[in-house]
Amino acid sequence: MRICEINDIASVASELSASLRQRGHTVEFIQPRLVGGSLNWAVKPIVGPARAIEWAYLIRKVKAGNFDVVHIHYAYLGMLGVLGKFPFLLHCHGSDIREMTPYTRPMVGRALAAAGHVFYATPDLRDAVLRMRADAEFLPNPVDTAIFRPLAPASASSGVFLCSSLTDIKGAVRMLAACSELAISRPDIQFTAIAGGDYTAQFAALPNVRLIPHQPRAQLPHILSGHGVVLGQVFLGALGMAELEAMATARPVVAWFRFDNAYAEPPPMVRSVDGRDLAAAIARLVDDPEARDDLGRRARAWVERNHSLDAAARAVETAATAVVSRRSLEMTA
């Protein structure tokens, strides 16, 4: 099949592109400019003309590519398929569903209704997506475990890496409380975090937190493997790519997870949600190198079983084949 992947969210589209090519498909990846994407929804209409020009260009490019099916990432961008009238799969990733605005809600609804198949990436999106598209499928985010692999045992370092962004949606206030408590009770425990979120200044003020700039994706396996413990999101209760990639590098992850029924087996991790419990969980792992290695090994094995890149590509291939078959039947009817 000729497949077009549009918009790279957490590197899912680019990694699926590579895997689908390995499965024998011709795949083109397109990254939209997304003019005005960071603006507040209330003022986004001012970039409407520029966005319309970009969308018209993307639709022409897709049609010129003569693709059998298009896989679009981020719900409202499914309007490309609606307007272009080409067969498409729609992939929901998070804020596109959780943070719909009066500007995006109508587009999301139309896109979900028109898509040949709908995927959602994390289990916390399930109820919201199924209300709009009852046959939507949970597709666990694919992790390339050949790239995200342990470069050193977890026992080799006692440092803690904050893998999530320093924002409310990731539970930054709770993470900040844990770091603050450990700055007093365990000043020997040192944290590394990536600067740039809303709470960057508060973390920078702590003596036990080292901030580093945003890193190229290729550096993440090295950074993760240079720490013994990883602290992930503690708000939504679902594992994002940051936590999954940490687990793939055989790091023990402390985070909040509440969707056991999404998997055949629960993820091996330390579950905690508030500042005091987070601090205690981190201290226990720092003091037990063998436990870090054991939990890290089990975490990587779980990711290999439940977030396989090849399995995700197979699911996309299956959905695309079904969409193409239905399209053919409709055209010959």
Two structure tokens written together for 206: 């702590």
CA distance 37 to 245: 26
* Average pLDDT of every residue of the chain: 93
Q: According to the model, what pLDDT value does residue 86 have?
A: 96
Q: According to the model, what pLDDT value does residue 168 have?
A: 96
pLDDT tens by residue, 274-323:
999 999 999 999 999 999 999 999 999 999 999 999 999 999 999 999 99
Class of domain 154-306: alpha beta
Q: According to the model, what pLDDT value does residue 7 have?
A: 96
Q: According to the model, what pLDDT value does residue 35 have?
A: 52
**Angle, CA 174 vertex, CA 141 and CA 179 arms, to 5°:** 105
Cβ-based neighbours of 123, under 8 Å, separated by 6 or more: 138, 238, 259, 262
Q: According to the model, what pLDDT value does residue 43 have?
A: 47
Nearest to 81 by CA among 47, 55, 54, 51: 55
Nearest to 316 by CA among 77, 45, 21: 21
Q: According to the model, what pLDDT value does residue 332 have?
A: 75
Beta strands in 185-330 (DSSP E): 191-194, 209-212, 229-231, 253-255, 270-271
Beta strands in the chain (DSSP E): 2-6, 26-30, 69-73, 88-92, 117-120, 137-138, 160-162, 191-194, 209-212, 229-231, 253-255, 270-271
The residue with tokens 């590197």 is 11
Two structure tokens written together for 13: 């589209």
Q: Where in the chain is the domain with CATH 3.40.50.2000?
A: 2-142+309-332, 154-306
**Rounded-to-10 torsion of CA 20, 25, 31, 32:** -130
CA distance 68 to 128: 29
pLDDT less than 50: residues of the chain: 39, 41-43
Nearest to 51 by CA among 10, 15, 103, 116: 103
DSSP 285-304: HHT-HHHHHHHHHHHHHHHH
Packing angle between helix 275-286 and helix 172-185, nearest 10 degrees?
A: 50
Nearest to 76 by CA among 118, 101, 107: 107
CA distance 228 to 178: 17
Class of domain 2-142+309-332: alpha beta
